[in-house]
Structure 1
Amino acid sequence: MTPTARPTETLLAHGLGGSEFLPVPLTAVLIGGAWALTISFAVIAFAWRTPRYGRSDAGRELPGWVTSTVDNRWLRGVLAGAALILTAWLVVAAFGPSHDNPLPGSFYVLLWVGMIVLSVLIGPVWRLLSPIRTVLRIARGIFGSRVVGLTDYPRRLGWWPAAFGLFAFVWLELASPEPNSVSSVRIWLLCYLAITLVGGIICGLRWTEDADPFAVYSTVASRLSPFAKNPDGRVIVRSPMNSLTTLPIRPGTVTVLAILLGSTAFDSFSAFPQWQDFVAEQAGGDGADGNQAIATLLSTAGLLVFVGVVAVTFWSAARAVGGVQPDLRRRLPGLMAHSLVPIVIGYILAHYLQSLVEQGQEAILALGDPLGRGWNLLWLSDAHPVYIMSDHPTVTVTLKVVFVVGGHMLGVAAAHDASLRLLPRRHQLTGQLTMMVTMVCYTFLGLYLLFGG
């Protein structure tokens, strides 16, 4: 994701500050991050002997008016309607001029990064904000099941449709020939709208929960939110570690997490000059179209490798434990998948938060005049973005290190707690060693990819 240029300087690729802004040398950061994870595992292993999370009664109920406000259908209707209006406005923008068009920024920054921040803060917001879900709910309310929900959503599909949708998104951003062009984003969104609408008509609202890539993405991020609902429907506040254990275990869950983590890692790797030089060298030739096709194939292969490495290493680490029955061993990757969520969210925030803060302002301001006709909707054209994170690079890169290392430490704690619940007593410690080594490697490589380029 390459930011637009500032008036006085060009932002670093991917919205990242370089290693020169680290408060200590990069080598010390890499070694320190790995040791922090190792030491935290040692402390947890010997001081944390019984499961602490995963209880259905965990959490403290908030006052009744909080639940009433959250469930208020008028308030929810207003928010869903506002999201529908914004979607219509972006449809207008999709047919505007390419220069300073708000569609790519809204798509890559406000939707992809902004939704994860909202979901971490307050819960799975896409269920409320999804324009297609809103349209399907209205149609179902008027016409009933004759129009929406002609058949049940097949359980065997699980999250696989969402996994394919998420890969299509990251491929468009990281491997396609023209990711920032308005036409590319427009075509992707038209395909998404058509597939989601048809799927919703056939399988009902369940399609918009389990097959919509943005809904699943929001669900994953919401498992780090301090807010949830108890079985009685009351809003509660609880440790995000308890919310992690509620991550749905579906066919494709591990693949979804591998796509999210692997694609973000590849985004960092693709900024390395060595990779860029390699792609440019291999794509050299006479025809421009051929050059572009080769570059696209190489980027697609690189993206698949990163996603595949995450999936294979996590799957292998989760299954590498003795003393368990074959059925439990088969299910362990899914049962341990929630421990990847803090790592995924931490790395995504470290990688893209600067883009959200700075490019997000540019995208919002561009919404004031999407067709380039001199409009000034809500006086947005009179405002100017503030590049606060670029102006304080040391603070910014320190936050990135904290997000990465903190996410991995939470992941280690979640994996340890799950091991205490799932594994035989004599294998509870040894069964975590492969997962521990895997997470140390993720931490080391994540920090290196984030700053080493």
Structure 2
Amino acid sequence: MIVDSDTVLAHGVGGSTDLPVPLEYAMLGAAWALTVSFAVLALAWRRPRLDPRSPGRALPPRVTRTVDSAATRALLAALGVAFTGWVALAAFGGEPGPTNGAPGAFYVLLWVGIVPMSLALGHVWSYVSPTRALHHAVSRMLRRDPATGLWTYPAALGYWPAALGLLAFVWTELASPEPGSLTTIRVWLVGYLAVGVLGGLAFGRRWFERADPFDVYAALVAALSPFGRRDPTGHSPADRRVVVRNPLSNLAGLPIDRGIVAVVAVLLGSTAFDSATGTSWWLTQVQTWYAGSPALAVAYRALGLLAAIALVALVFVLAARATGGLTSVQRRSMPAELAHSLVPIVVGYVGAHYLSYLVEKGQRTLIALADPLDRGWDPLGIGGLAPSYWLSEHPHLLAVLKVGLVLTGHVLGVIAAHDRCIRLLPRAHHLTGQLALMLVMVGYTFLGLFLLFAG
């Protein structure tokens, strides 16, 4: 990932020779972890247990009142707009180069930071989203209800606009000629805000829930948060208390709609491609095919990105449909029904791939943003700080964290898929109907670990 025109930033501590855990040991551990998990589930988990409507443990009433209060929403929306405006100062008024924090804000704090934020706090992005806040303000100026639009959002679109938006973002990040240039950041910033506000005016709240790429991305990750609502469907407004619940039960309530497989495929496939471009094979072989030709470089990287996303989607769809005991219509619906099981894998792999990148480049970005116009500003008193590279200086810990994140994500994915399969499949196919999906999970794990160590 390139976030400024002069600096190529690594996401970890280097390749397999730098990670103090042999790749074969990591692979063997992954195989055992997934195999044992599946065996235990087959023997001890014979009925569905993950229910988003489970009561959970309700937090004190004041928590719900605070979360739902107009003051909280207004404060968080104002903070989101203010931070966006601060980044815009750097993008439009700052000097190009490694000291400008706008690219880092875009590619690090937003794209990577949205994962830990959503895991820890739930779908807080819906409160701090600058597009939602601007849309709400414009709607009030026009004396319109922000929840409704001029038209009903077409059901046939589903999540497809969000998938295309995410694809556009990862193409910009991983395949475009100048992803870290301030011109690119400016176009994305203005375009995203304009499309978001216009989409909200046209289709209301549903636009953000299905079409806004970052909103949908945050919502998918937030589905794995321990925080939820007593009645997540909203059918009982009187019982919308905030509760702590098994995160996998919250994940089971992720809305199913057209295009959801495309969304998770873009997230997982793009991260895999980002890892692949850091391998010695890509650096020594593939890059020679387009060396000296910027146009060919864009073409090869774009084709590689699309191939990675398409491969993730195709393999998953085929595995999800490879079961007996279902009608053709039911079999076609299985990929969307099981798409939620890829969310923990996405979270685990993104966390492993970008862990040290987020911590270390995130610090550099915040320090750079202290003075967005290069005029000596430092309102928060952090401009003179130096980033800490403590995590990269402890490669054993970093290696354990990376492998642990990948394995945890895949084990949770296996559990989520198993629970959904025994809910949907005939009893005679509870186990055999999952074998293809289990093999795909193992394949994803091995590929993820290989790319993580080779990149």
- Sort the TM-score into its range (normalised by shorter chain): over 0.9
In 2, Cα distance between the equivalents of 1:3 and 1:36? 36
The structural deviation recorded for 1:136 is 1.4
SS in 1 for 2:152: coil
Segment drifting more, 256-265 vs 192-201: 192-201
TM-score, normalised with respect to structure 2? 0.94
TM-score, normalised with respect to structure 1? 0.94
Aligned match of 2:447 = 445
SS in 2 for 1:408: helix
The structural deviation recorded for 1:279 is 3.6
Q: Deviations over 1:309-351 (max 9, x none)?
A: 1100111111000011122111111111111110010000001
Q: Deviations over 1:191-242 (max 9, x none)?
A: 2222222211211222122110000000000011000112221000010110
Residue 327 of structure 1 is aligned with which of 303, 306, 329? 329
Equivalent residues of 2:52, 2:251 under 8 A apart: no
Aligned match of 1:272 = 279
Corresponding position: 1:89 with 2:96: no
Aligned match of 2:236 = none
SS in 1 for 2:336: helix
Corresponding position: 1:236 with 2:243: yes
* Structure 2: unaligned runs, 5 residues or longer: 232-238
Corresponding position: 1:98 with 2:96: yes
Aligned match of 2:26 = 29
Equivalent residues of 1:362, 1:385 under 8 A apart: yes
Aligned match of 1:248 = 255
In 2, Cα distance between the equivalents of 1:266 and 1:448? 12
In 1, Cα distance between the equivalents of 2:113 and 2:81? 17
Aligned match of 2:235 = none
| Aligned CA distance change for structure 1 residues 325 and 414 (closer, same or farther; 3 Å) | same
In 1, Cα distance between the equivalents of 2:358 and 2:432? 41
| Aligned CA distance change for structure 1 residues 410 and 256 (closer, same or farther; 3 Å) | same
Specify the code of the residue in structure 2 equivalent to 1:239: N
In 2, Cα distance between the equivalents of 1:146 and 1:254? 32
Q: Deviations over 1:52-110 (max 9, x none)?
A: 11251341111111111111211221111011111111111112111211110000110
Residue 355 of structure 2 is aligned with which of 353, 362, 366? 353
Segment drifting more, 187-196 vs 112-121: 187-196
Equivalent residues of 1:104, 1:185 under 8 A apart: yes
Specify the code of the residue in structure 2 equivalent to 1:102: G
**Correspondences of 1:11-160 after superposition (within 5 Å):** 13-95=10-92, 96-99=94-97, 100-145=99-144, 149-160=149-160
| Aligned CA distance change for structure 1 residues 42 and 252 (closer, same or farther; 3 Å) | same
Specify the code of the residue in structure 2 equivalent to 1:241: L
Q: Deviations over 1:112-156 (max 9, x none)?
A: 111111111111122111112112112323433389721111111
Aligned match of 2:305 = 303
In 2, Cα distance between the equivalents of 1:111 and 1:431? 38
In 2, Cα distance between the equivalents of 1:118 and 1:259? 20
> Percent of counterpart pairs with the same letter?
51
In 2, Cα distance between the equivalents of 1:60 and 1:393? 38
Specify the code of the residue in structure 2 equivalent to 1:370: P
Aligned match of 1:397 = 399
SS in 2 for 1:49: coil
Specify the code of the residue in structure 2 equivalent to 1:258: A
**Correspondences of 1:160-179 after superposition (within 5 Å):** 160-179=160-179
In 1, Cα distance between the equivalents of 2:19 and 2:363? 26
In 2, Cα distance between the equivalents of 1:394 and 1:2? 26
Equivalent residues of 1:2, 1:13 under 8 A apart: no
Residue 269 of structure 2 is aligned with which of 262, 265, 272? 262
In terms of fraction of residues, the more helix-rich structure is 1
SS in 2 for 1:228: strand
* Structure 1: unaligned runs, 5 residues or longer: 5-9, 286-290
SS in 2 for 1:154: coil
In 2, Cα distance between the equivalents of 1:241 and 1:44? 14
Runs of 4+ in structure 1 off by over 4 angstroms are none
Equivalent residues of 2:3, 2:104 under 8 A apart: no
Q: Deviations over 1:19-67 (max 9, x none)?
A: 3354431111112212211121112111211111125134111111111
In 2, Cα distance between the equivalents of 1:281 and 1:144? 58
Equivalent residues of 1:3, 1:13 under 8 A apart: no
| Aligned CA distance change for structure 1 residues 222 and 347 (closer, same or farther; 3 Å) | same
Segment drifting more, 384-393 vs 145-154: 145-154
Aligned match of 2:289 = 282
Equivalent residues of 2:21, 2:399 under 8 A apart: no
Q: CA RMSD in A?
A: 1.9
| Aligned CA distance change for structure 1 residues 427 and 360 (closer, same or farther; 3 Å) | same
In 2, Cα distance between the equivalents of 1:55 and 1:77? 28
Equivalent residues of 1:366, 1:380 under 8 A apart: no
Equivalent residues of 1:2, 1:14 under 8 A apart: no
SS in 1 for 2:142: helix
Equivalent residues of 1:123, 1:222 under 8 A apart: yes
In 1, Cα distance between the equivalents of 2:114 and 2:380? 23
Corresponding position: 1:415 with 2:417: yes
The structural deviation recorded for 1:11 is 9.3
The structural deviation recorded for 1:356 is 1.3
Corresponding position: 1:189 with 2:189: yes
| Aligned CA distance change for structure 1 residues 130 and 3 (closer, same or farther; 3 Å) | closer
Aligned match of 1:7 = none
Aligned match of 2:234 = none
SS in 1 for 2:228: strand
Segment drifting more, 414-423 vs 187-196: 187-196
In 2, Cα distance between the equivalents of 1:11 and 1:186? 20
In 2, Cα distance between the equivalents of 1:108 and 1:272? 21
In 1, Cα distance between the equivalents of 2:334 and 2:128? 33
